[in-house]
Amino acid sequence: MAATLEGMTGPTATDRAALLPGTPLADAVVRLIRPVESPSVFNHSIRSYLFARMAAARLALVAGRDYDDDLLFAACAMHDLGVAPRSSDGPRGQRFEVEGADRAAEFLIGRGVPPADADQVWLAIALHTSPGIAERRGALCVLVREGVALDFGGPLGTDHVDAVDDEQADVIHTAYPRLDMVRSLVDAIVAHAARNPGCAPRYAVPGELLREREAFGRTRLEHACRTSRWGN
């Protein structure tokens, strides 16, 4: 994957909002997730990284000093890997955040990433739905949580939704359209949660989304996102 948007030469500062790392590890992560995630969930995963970088700037966190950009991309891009189909043994009976963290760490170690770095990614993915905890576990956890929250436009409680101006948002959403993201992602989480009681523990995000869908046909998250900054 090139580090510039397709067909773009000499990107402006605003256009750079949608640039990806273009490193061998980032390219390998994209090759892993693109075939197994829906286009909507894939785009959400990439936007989460782009928004996480903007949150980093707002928080005065600097790549190379406070966090590793390759690890940030890996964690954001693979944070929903747990809802993607497996090629072999199916779901492992874990909530999707933990299954995704396991799969991401296994992939990174297989690519030669040091176990300590893979464990940072594991923690950031496993905690990305845990407000009040993720923020206490280091810069990578903070940025993944903020990037994901920013892509929901406000309902997940980010304090930095205004870190993205309208022009930057337009560039990002043109490159990676939303495609009814909230419904698509909730569909995937609910489908995973319904496979095994261990995937849907009570009061955890997947368990509550499953129960709300079963009881009401639509989750509170879907309802809240209808009036969020980006919509559904």
Q: How confident is the prediction along the chain (232 residues), in pLDDT tens digits per residue?
A: 334 344 334 455 566 778 899 999 999 999 999 999 999 999 999 999 999 999 999 999 999 999 999 999 999 999 999 999 875 555 468 899 999 999 999 999 999 999 999 999 999 999 999 988 988 999 999 999 999 999 988 656 566 677 788 898 899 999 999 999 889 999 999 998 898 888 888 889 988 999 999 988 888 888 787 877 777 6
Q: Does residue 4 sit within a domain?
A: no
Do the beta carbons of residue 134 and residue 109 sit within 8 Å? no
Q: What is the Cα–Cα distance from 104 to 98, expressed in whole angstroms? A: 10
Q: Where are any strands of DSSP class E within 37-190?
A: none
Q: Does residue 87 sit within a domain?
A: yes
Q: Does residue 68 sit within a domain?
A: yes
Do the beta carbons of residue 135 and residue 156 sit within 8 Å? no
Whole-structure pTM value:
0.88
- HSE-CB for 136 with a 13 A CA cutoff: 4
Q: What is the Cα–Cα distance from 100 to 97, expressed in whole angstroms? A: 5
The two most distant CA atoms of the chain are separated, in Å, by 51
Sign of CA dihedral 220, 132, 67, 114: negative
How many structural domains compose the chain?
1
Q: Does residue 121 sit within a domain?
A: yes
Do the beta carbons of residue 207 and residue 201 sit within 8 Å? yes
Helices (H), 176-204: 181-193
Please give the residue range of the domain that contains residue 151. Answer: 22-225
Q: Does residue 13 sit within a domain?
A: no
Residues near 228 by beta carbon (within 8 Å), at least 6 away in sequence: 152, 153, 154, 155
Q: Does residue 11 sit within a domain?
A: no
Q: Does residue 126 sit within a domain?
A: yes
Q: Does residue 5 sit within a domain?
A: no
pLDDT for position 163: 79
